[in-house]
């Protein structure tokens, strides 16, 4: 049984949520998002809360139950507060700078890497060694942060590269004589 799925999703203040068939739509101060729930799961709106239940007792329906509830919760949180991921750049000469809406990354390659932000995502560089990716769609924010990190993932010997702000890099000991 899903422990997450049992809990109904409360609609926060300032957010209007509607359920039409299998589509949950949330409109808030940051924007509007919608999520189409899988057919294995039944979604309904009752007294200011969105509840999610499996249609039957199959393994597939139970596995989609918790996922659907979390996705509905994420769109409610996204339109209310939004999401952000912070990236840190470590390494001599490694830096990031804004170039209009795009990010220009100097990562030790023979060329500059220019990353174009997709629609709905805003990227900021408060410091040359810090990148902040923010938006209302949690999946998109995470995907953009992962794509930026993939240009130069952190290496285990010196820790050089782009890492998430909350990520721990396990350091390895170098060669011994």
Domain match, 50 and 95 both: no
Structural domain boundaries enclosing 50: 3-80
State the pLDDT confidence band at 1, using cuts at 50, 70 and 90. Answer: low
Query: H or E element: which one contains 83?
Result: strand 83-90
Distance CA 112, CA 114 (A): 6
Domain count within the chain: 2
Domain match, 68 and 39 both: yes
Classified as helix, coil or strand, 165 is: coil
Q: Which letter does DSSP use for residue 110 in this model?
A: S
Domain match, 64 and 112 both: no
Domain match, 59 and 48 both: yes
Say whether pTM exceeds 0.75: yes
Domain match, 66 and 97 both: no
State the pLDDT confidence band at 177, using cuts at 50, 70 and 90. Answer: confident
Domain boundary among 59, 80, 101: 80
């Amino acid at each position: 049984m899903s422990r997450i799925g049992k809990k109904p999703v409360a609609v926060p203040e300032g957010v209007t949520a509607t359920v039409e068939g299998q589509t949950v739509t949330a409109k808030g101060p940051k924007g509007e998002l919608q999520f189409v729930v899988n057919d294995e799961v039944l979604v309904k709106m009752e007294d200011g809360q969105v509840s999610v239940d499996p249609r039957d007792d199959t393994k597939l329906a139970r596995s989609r139950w918790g996922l659907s509830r979390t996705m509905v919760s994420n769109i409610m949180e996204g339109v209310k507060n939004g999401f952000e991921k912070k990236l840190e750049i470590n390494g001599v000469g490694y830096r990031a700078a804004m170039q209009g809406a795009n990010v220009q990354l100097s990562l030790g390659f023979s060329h500059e890497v220019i990353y174009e932000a997709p629609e709905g995502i805003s990227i900021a560089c408060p410091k040359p060694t810090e990148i902040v990716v923010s938006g209302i769609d949690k999946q998109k924010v995470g995907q953009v942060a992962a794509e930026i990190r993939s240009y130069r993932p952190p290496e285990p010997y010196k820790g050089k590269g782009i890492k998430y702000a909350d990520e721990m890099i396990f350091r390895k000991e170098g060669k011994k004589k």
